[in-house]
Chains A and B, each alone.
Chain A
Amino acid sequence: MNSFWAVFKRELKSYFTTPLAYVFLVIFLFFSAYLTFKQGFFEVRQADMRAFFLNLPLLFVFMVPSTAMRLWAEERKTGSIELLLTLPITITQAVLGKFFAAWLFLTIALALTFPMVITVCYLGDPDIGLIVTGYLGSFLMAGGFLAIGCFFSAISKNQVISFVLSVVVCAMLVFAGMPTTLNFVSTFLPAGFVSAIENMSFQTHFESIQKGVLEFKDISYFVLLIVGWVAACTIVLNERKAS
């Protein structure tokens, strides 16, 4: 447990000792608010955060892989992985330590969007329950994207490659649930396949959580996704750490 905390602490600190955290936070906060107001936040004349949560998956497709890409690619490139993994730390502890540190960092970024909450509360009387489930869904979605990014970061020493690969996979998982995609595939695939594709998508599960419905299938989707990709990351890293 000690080793896990050591990795966790070091990783979280490293975000803030480099400009990375600040650049990320400024850009994320700017675009999350910009997209919300641009998409007719005032015109709708409803005090809720739908417009904010609607854009989050698209923003996450780019922002989360950019935090995740360095996790292992950088360690392997600079060789510091040799220092890390010759300390009494197991690979699982190291992977989890880094993953949770990055997840906490993204949670901090999400928490810093609190002025949006204040804004809607000032403008009207929003459903707090919806806002809470919206944030819960975003938190889980960030974890899912991060797990994918973490895996691709372990695959390549090159951060750009791991970034591009994880953006592609995350985008596929988001777009698979968009109505346009589903309409298109339903023209030539049987209904069972279409609903399978729909259920594999982030979008579907995120939307249903965000609507305030906390269902077992949505939560378990994210949990399975995270566990699966993080476990795959551990296996890949074990094979490739020294190469």
Chain B
Amino acid sequence: MIEVRELRRSFGPVLAVDGISFSVEAGQVLGLLGPNGAGKTTAMRMLACFVRPDSGTATVCGYDILKNPVEVRRSLGYLAENSPAYGEMTVGGLLNFVCDARSINGKQRKSILDRIVPMCSIDSVYHQTIETLSKGYKRRVGLAQALIHDPDVLILDEPTDGLDPNQKYEVRKLISNMAKDKCIVVSTHILEEVEAICSRTIIISRGRVLVDSTPAKLKEQYNCSLDEVFRKITTAKS
């Protein structure tokens, strides 16, 4: 469902993503790992058509990110790093705005909101303005916004960042439950999370794919914990 071919992007002299290629099928949860500044966020932004690649391309649900960006955005749910939102809006206001933009109206909107709001446990803050929310609640609003149209492809940039252990558990459960028929790409620094939810993992560093494997295989191959595997791979080759 996601097909990435030789994506490359630089910002001035900094080469953020240096020709990465991979593909993800429905039913897979891909964990995108890498040290800070590895190019994870830029890669995800390119998939969400927010940043234009310098060269290379990708398709999401069959739509090309360069030729058909609006269709790509229609078919994917994207949670950006730090889940940006309009601070002065209420949670309900923001979700309704996203429904407007995604042409979800009438009864359908009501039933979707009735399902999504408890699912992301944001009922208690539904009428609160977003700038007054804690980091964890903001993330969950971001998650609700990304799930609102029940997309086939989900791109989540550090979805559990800033959540407390209970919320982390909830979000992981949510992702695992959706994993069956969706194609999900998650970036994270938390390696236990990769073991818990990802069926596949790609480690990138300095904009290049270093490893494309499964968490279990990696552990077996290096015969140590995923933490150590990560350190070995990213420090040895950099």
A-side residues, CB < 8 A to B, are 2-3, 5-7, 9-10, 13-14, 17-18, 78-83, 85-90, 241-243
List, in ascending order, chain A residues with CB within 8 A of B70's CB: 88-90
Known contacts A6-B101, A242-B50; A82/B88 CB under 8 A: no
Interface on chain A toward B: helix, strand, loop, or mixed SS? helix
Q: Give the contacting residue for A79; candidates B51, B71, B74, B82; CB below 8 A.
A: B82
- Are A241's CB and B50's CB within 8 A? yes
Mark each residue of chain B from 47 to 78: 1 if its CB lies under 8 Å from any CB of chain A, else 0: 01111000000000000000001110110001
Question: Out of A18, A81, A242, A243, which one reaches B88, CB within 8 Å?
Answer: A18
Q: Which residues of B contact A86 (CB under 8 A)?
A: 48-50, 73, 78, 80
Q: Is the CB of A243 within 8 A of B100?
A: no
Contact present for B50 and A85 (CB under 8 Å): yes
Docked complex Cα distance between A90 and B145 (Å): 18
A237 to chain B, nearest CB (A): 12
Q: Which residues does chain A contribute within 8 Å of B73, judged by CB atoms?
A: 86-89
| Complexed CA–CA distance, A13 and B98 (Å) | 14
Distance A230 CA – B48 CA, assembled complex (angstroms): 25
Tell me the smallest distance from the CB of A192 to a CB of chain B, in Å. 44
Given known A-B contacts A78-B84, A242-B51, A243-B11, A6 and B97 have beta carbons under 8 A apart:
yes
B37 interface residue (CB < 8 Å to A): no
Report the Cα distance A86→B85, complex, angstroms: 12
Cα A87 to Cα B86 with chains together (Å): 14
B200 adjacent to chain A (CB < 8 Å): no
Among A9, A87, A90, chain B packs the most CB atoms within 10 A around the CB of A87
Determine the distance from Cα of A53 to Cα of B82 in the docked complex, in whole angstroms: 47
Q: List 12 A-B contacts (CB under 8 A).
A: A2-B101, A6-B101, A9-B100, A80-B86, A82-B50, A82-B80, A82-B84, A85-B49, A86-B49, A86-B50, A87-B102, A88-B102
